Amino acid sequence: VWLNTAHQGALPVRAAEAAATAVRWKQAPHCLTGDRFHDIPERLRARLGGLLSVPPDEVILANSSSYGLHLIVEGFPWRQGDEVLLVRGDFPSTTLPWRRLQEEGVRLRFLEPSGGHLQASEVDAAIGRHTRLLCTTWVHSFTGHTVDVTAVGAVCRARGVAFVLNASQGVGARPLRPLELPVDAVTGVGSKWLCGPYGTGFCWLTPAFRDRLRCRRTNWLSLYTVADLEGDCTPDLPDHLRARDLDLFSTANFFNFLPWIAALEVLESSGLEAIAERDQGLVQRILDGLPRASYRLLSPAAGPLRSTLVFLTHRDPRRTPGLYARLTDAGIDVSLRRGHLRVSPHLYNTEQDIDRVLEALAGGA
């Protein structure tokens, strides 16, 4: 029983078939046609654009959420003395990329949310004269709390601070429409709630934010088609940075991107609203069936802060690691994170899966 999508999403059958197709193409390389080199990235961009309700040509193709954050670290016009706000205890993908900036005189300041999760008022109080950017995860990997993006982003906009969101633990489990939110950049990993292979991800930047970046990566596949190679390909660089100019290199990444396209089509055919409803129904079943006399729920029980990451602990916390071992022995996969159990169901889980974990928890109470 896989109840650990916060670690890895399961690849849908259709996506596994697409992966097999990509392997066959490579076994018979004449199948790797020029058209396919061009089409695969564009089909993926279209799927991601649809999923996020953004124009596909604003989507950057990546291999992780870290990739997009590094683009911003590299390209943002930093000045000596600038400050970046981060959140203490956040997942390292969200905090690590900025560390190198300290060598360039950029200060990192870690917010310590008093209630355990980031509040807009705390962001407002923390922003100072030199604050240029705030980066946080949307859904916290170790608490299951969801950041109120509208409230935090509104503060950032009002104070002229760029707002960068790592949406990895939420995107795919519920709708995310960046154009309707006060965010400048969104990054995400593909291998969790988006059910893609490991080594997939995306980044979306507002065109205005992208224009501020100084990166100039020149990847031949983003400039030319295979047919263009007939010409002399004089390096005429675009004077305007497009999203595709920031794509991961080897963009026609057949083994990963062909199955990811298929996985995204599966999500799209269900619809993110319906997936969110289903996932939240599974979360509710865990909360309703949890033997409260023995266990404490640590993640939000209801409301907009609740996510699909459910954190539990035994009332005697010393017993939680033993319970984790008990679940593993019973063939039930959850995570043990910072001493607590993390159960994270997604669309392929059934009510029976939830009942199995509840039975095992009751048995170990």
Ligand X SMILES: Cc1ncc(COP(=O)(O)O)c(C=O)c1O
Interface residue list for ligand X (CB under 6 A):
64-66, 91, 93, 137, 141, 166, 168-169, 189, 201
Q: With respect to ligand X, which residue has the nearer C-beta, 10 or 330?
A: 10
What is the closest distance, in whole angstroms, from the C-beta atom of residue 191 to ligand X in the complex?
8
Considering the complex, state which of residue 169 and residue 222 has its C-beta at the smaller distance from ligand X.
169
Closest CB to ligand X among residues 91, 204: 91
Residues 6+ away with beta carbon under 8 Å from 221: 37, 41, 247, 249, 250, 251, 252
Burial class, 297, CB count within 10 angstroms (exposed 0-12 / middle 13-18 / buried 19+): middle
DSSP secondary structure letters along 182-221:
T-SEEEEESSSTT---SS-EEEEE-HHHHHH-------HH
Closest distance between ligand X and the C-beta of residue 140, in Å? 8
Q: Which residue has the tokens 């396919």?
A: 36
- State in angstroms the smallest separation of the CB of 227 from ligand X: 34
CB of 244 to ligand X, least distance (A): 20
- Closer Cβ to ligand X, 66 or 143, answer by number: 66
Instruction: Return d(Cα 282, Cα 257) in angstroms, integer.
Output: 29
Per-residue CA distances from 109 to 149, 187, 306, 334 (Å): 20, 21, 27, 33
Supply the minimum distance, in Å, between the C-beta of residue 341 and ligand X: 16
Residue 170 CB, nearest approach to ligand X (Å): 9
Helix or strand (DSSP H, E) at 283: helix 272-289
Question: Burial level of 266, CB count in 10 A (0-12/13-18/19+)?
Answer: middle
Contact 276, 175 (CB under 8 A): yes
- Closest to ligand X by CB, 69 vs 360, is 69
Residue 69 CB, shortest distance to ligand X, in Å, is 8
Residue in the block written with tokens 């969110």? 276
Least Cβ distance, residue 93 to ligand X (angstroms): 4
Closer residue to ligand X, CB minimum distance, 9 or 49? 9
Burial of 289 (0-12, 13-18, 19+ CB in 10 A): middle
Structure tokens at 84: 């970046």
Phi then psi dihedrals of residue 333, to 5 deg: -95, 115
